[in-house]
Structure 1
Amino acid sequence: MTGATATGAGFVALRRSRGRRLVWLGVVLAVLALACLVSVSLGTREVAWADIAAGVSGSTDTMARAVVAVRVPRTVLAVLAGAALGLAGAVMQGVTRNPLADPGILGVNAGAAMAVVIGIAWFGMQTLDAFLWTAIFGAGLAACFVYAIGSLGRGGATPLKLALAGAATAIAASSFTVAIILPRNDIAGGVRAWQVGGIGGASFDAIVPCLPFLLAGLVLCLLSARSLNLLALGDDAAAGLGAHVVWARVAAALGAVLLCGATTAICGPIGFVGLVVPHVCRLLVGVDHRWLLPFSALTGAILLIGADVIGRVVARPSEMDVGIVTAFVGAPFFIWIVRKRRVRDL
């Protein structure tokens, strides 16, 4: 095959790959729109489309007001939280080159939750702004601790050591959180319900203060796409291609911490979204982070909306928190990944 022929074949393959990704992008956007419609219309009580339309148009009908006041902000929060967790999971897997990386498995969510509980129990913290800053601080501290522990010994921060350090940190933080809550009957009920992870009771008043943190995390993560592609080649190769390895990792990790901290503050620790979503997206668009990161955000939103709708339907007339549903989905997926990759290959 001549050089010109090879170049032409490569160009055609690139166009086919881009076309396939654009098709999947259209499919994912359509599914997300459909999931949002289902989330608004379906729940513990059926709501007719006429009532939904009346509520959106500003009708004073009681049922329409309930739809707008409860289900619409709940759907918006599910989109934001799912996108944040899916994107953060993809970034963490890229930064650590670890297929098991996830805000829950690496202890980031547990660190954020522990910091919030300490603030409530010991310092009387009550405002959402305080929750946000405290959760982000706790998430960042947990991430630094896990990476420091995983870097000890021969070979540095290997994927296996990071996974083990993250699991140990998550267990320790969760245990310490329980120890703080047990003697405090005045806060135990509310904190335990929050710890399960859910989006019930969402309101735009609670969502708006989170937006700057989520936006900052989104920008940092998306801007890190090229750096993550280089880091996937190895630190030496990335440095040889002009990447500042340390700063690339710090910027990407900071974006993930902002996303995880803000989401945990408003929803509680929701696990496994960041683990499942990036693996599914790699099957659709490959390993290029310029495509993988936005797809992970969109697919994470779909997963969390779906989990929320399932939680409303299966436990009628009550509800099952979204954190429980994602655990049912994510735990078998985690076992499958471990069996497929094999521990010695991590």
Structure 2
Amino acid sequence: MTATLIETPFGEFSTADEVAEGIDLTGRRAVVTGASSGIGVETARTLAAHGAQVTLAVRNTAAGERVAADIRAEAPDARVDVRPLELGDRGSVAAFVDAWSGPLDLLINNAGVMALPQRTLVDGQETQFATNHLGHFALATGLHRALAAADGARVVSVSSSAHLRCPVLFDDTTFAFVPYDPFLAYGQSKTANVLFAVEATRRWADDGITVNALMPGGIATGLQRHVDMEALMAARRSAGASDVLKTTQQGASTSVLLAVSPLLEGVGGRYFEDCHEASVLTDRTQSDGRHGVAPFALDPDNAARLWTLSEGLVSA
């Protein structure tokens, strides 16, 4: 943690295109997971428009091809390809890693599932934890050599303010004993996304790799298909938060900022929101539910413990 928080000239409603303005990504290679919908589309679109060679890593390759075609229609010189990736399937992640060759400059861990109404398991793990954290953990560690081969690679871990709801329950990550709640399980997986950034930055510093996490903001996308949006907006208002949602271009801005901005050169292991580093809370009453980061999500001991746990789970 740092006493001086990083601030940028951008803000809550800045767009991905605005934060990338003037940045040339020619020769850079990027992977964006979940790039067939929501903020993943806009993240990929902006990176490609600025010259990056972008791989859309998606479950639905037909949807991914439509996105790729749209990107090429807007920017005929854009270099975009589509590859299948199912984060909840270890074989799919391994196949993606095995098929990758050459350096990788940018890895945007964007895909996710949210608030599944019933407890379900994937390979013995709660589905949100397995998909949002373990799948991305296996992907990033599997691509570590490719990231290390690049010059100053960056990894972006898309988290959420929902992490404030729940730390990683190390003694019961599967909710076998703790009563399952959709948002507790989602929150646990989002805390894990932040802790991954903390420990990966520590472990990979000598390789020139930095990893940061972020909250993209309130955006209405397919991610919320299991969420009662009317109730969610009412809860936001009661907590004093604005009921104005971001567009997907605005929602992608912090991801793109962390991926490409020279303002974040050499910065890692931190949590951002609305294009600024978030303040660390002492308790949840300090937050409107959307802003701030919990100390348990940045704790280096928690981060190291989660890494060890994750290594065991993905190799089991």
TM above 0.5, yes or no, is: no
Structure number, greater radius of gyration: 1
So what's the TM-score if we normalise by structure 1?
Answer: 0.28
Give the structure with the larger helix fraction. Answer: 1
So what's the TM-score if we normalise by structure 2?
Answer: 0.30
Say which structure, 1 or 2, has more relative contact order (CA 8 Å, 6+ apart). 1
